[in-house]
């Protein structure tokens, strides 16, 4: 039989369950906001250091990170590790320039584990001509590190530079 005391106990149990569920949802939302801000700050700091020649966002890559260059360039593909990407793209790029690429961030957006960076990059090639390109990188973050990156940029400008300038032997 449903008496007043039973109804009250059931209502209290339901209310408690609802409050616990709401609390879990609020905690999850707060955790998501915190992760977003941490990821944004980590990437911003890496770009700030890169701009003044004291590091780069490549320092954020986990050893097993995947880096995808989108487009039709001979270098457009998925690199299955940080080492492969550094060996096949970044080291040969740096060997073709007089000084490191300097980024100017146009926008940095974060949502949970995703950080999107739009930036202009400029340097001078070994042949004395300028190299300028605009990049958009999409990072997937985990514990403050990049596990996956997708890069968009003008591959025609990049390929022209890559083919024009040979690294020193």
Q: What is the pLDDT of residues 105-138, one digit of tens each?
A: 999 999 999 999 999 999 999 999 999 999 999 9
Q: Is 28's pLDDT higher than 90?
A: no
In a domain? residue 139 = yes
Lowest mean pLDDT among 1-5, 9-13, 32-36, 45-49: 1-5
| Domain of residue 108, CATH code | 3.10.450.50
In a domain? residue 75 = yes
3-state helix, strand, coil in the chain (%, to 5): 45, 35, 20
Kindly state the helix (H) or strand (E) to which residue 115 belongs, with its residue range.
strand 114-124
In a domain? residue 169 = no
How far is the C-alpha of 164 from the C-alpha of 169, rounded, in Å? 15
CB–CB of 38/144 below 8 Å? yes
In a domain? residue 154 = yes
CA 46 to chain centroid: 10
Give the pLDDT score at 2. 53
Q: What is the largest CA-CA distance in the chain?
A: 92
What digits encode the pLDDT tens for the residues 43-98?
A: 999 999 999 999 999 999 999 999 999 999 999 999 999 999 999 999 999 999 99
In a domain? residue 156 = yes
pLDDT interval class at 169 (50, 70, 90): confident
The whole domain housing 137 covers 4-164
Mean pLDDT in residue range 130-155: 97
Domain count of the chain?
1
CB–CB of 102/121 below 8 Å? yes
Mean pLDDT in residue range 144-165: 97
In a domain? residue 134 = yes
- 126-155 burial, b for 16+ CB within 10 Å, e for fewer? eeeeebebebebbbbbeeebbbbbbbebeb
In a domain? residue 144 = yes
């Amino acid at each position: 039989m449903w008496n007043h005391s039973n109804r009250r106990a059931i209502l209290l149990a339901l209310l408690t369950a609802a409050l616990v569920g709401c609390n879990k949802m609020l905690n999850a939302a707060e955790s998501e906001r915190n992760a977003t801000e941490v990821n944004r700050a980590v990437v911003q700091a890496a770009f700030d250091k890169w701009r003044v020649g004291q590091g780069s966002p490549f320092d954020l890559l986990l050893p097993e990170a995947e880096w995808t260059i989108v487009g039709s360039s001979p270098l457009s593909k998925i690199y299955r590790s940080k080492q492969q990407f550094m060996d096949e793209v970044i080291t040969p790029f740096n060997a073709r320039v007089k000084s490191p690429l300097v980024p100017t961030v146009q926008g940095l957006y974060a949502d949970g584990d995703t950080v999107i960076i739009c930036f202009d990059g400029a340097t001078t090639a070994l042949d004395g001509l300028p190299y300028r390109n605009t990049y958009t990188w999409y990072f997937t973050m985990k514990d403050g590190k990049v596990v996956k990156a997708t890069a968009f940029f003008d591959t025609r400008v990049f390929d022209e530079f890559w083919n024009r300038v040979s690294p020193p032997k």
